[in-house]
Amino acid sequence: MTKAEKVNDILNILEKHFPDPEIPLHHKDAYTLLISVLLSAQCTDVMVNKTTPKLFKQADNPYDMLKMSVDEIRDIIRPCGLSPMKSKGIHGLSKILVEKYNGEVPNTFEQLEELPAVGHKTASVVLTQWFGLPTFPVDTHIHRLAYRWGLSKGKSVEQTEKDLKRLIPKEKWNKAHLQIIYFGRKFCPARNHNWRECPICSKYMRKELRD
């Protein structure tokens, strides 16, 4: 089996199990998505979705967010962890959006990554899930699965992103990254993973990782 055939088979399996993956973070526009993704760093989507309603009730746009103090933001987002850094980032990026972009979220990597607390992965998620641009966000979970399935030997998420972009057709990037996330949660957890019962791992898991 060629690498292309393997990738195509994996994509077909993902499509079979998750044909219509939804964006896991609740949002209504680019700004609320940006804030939600920022909060999801080292935090579960479930916890983010429990936390953001209270935050967005007070401020669901950068103008209202600036009316809140960093301390007020931190108190609300505390359950998401890293609240000192995240609250400063949320307040700081809101200020830039108001002053530089008329309150709108920009749609380029360069502009997004200049915002406080916004890294490459956060920018990638916003660009693909809101603006529909072809990016392939890679977090530690996708990084782990790509290695497990033999799609990348990357030592970093950056290298894994390059490998997946090279192997997966560009028109499938936006959907595939969500499918991998959902598939990993259901079939490929980091702990207590039974590779024999996983539709992908049972066929393609690296030999050195098997029991």
CA distances from 71 to 35, 48, 65, 201, 206 (A): 16, 18, 12, 45, 47
29 is catalytic: no
Residue 188 neighbours by CB under 8 Å, 6+ apart: 145, 148, 198, 200, 201
Task: Kindly state the tokens that stand for 130.
Answer: 């809101």
121 is catalytic: yes
Contact 90, 117 (CB under 8 A): yes
CA distance 79 to 39: 10
Query: Could you say which of 45, 75, 86, 139 is catalytic?
Result: 139
Contact 163, 3 (CB under 8 A): no
Query: Could you say which of 45, 71, 86, 121 is catalytic?
Result: 121
3-state helix, strand, coil in the chain (%, to 5): 65, 0, 35
- Residue type, position 79, single letter: P
End-to-end Cα, the chain, rounded Å: 24
Residue 140 neighbours by CB under 8 Å, 6+ apart: 157
CA distances from 22 to 31, 168, 175, 176, 211 (A): 18, 20, 9, 12, 33
Catalytic residues: 121, 139
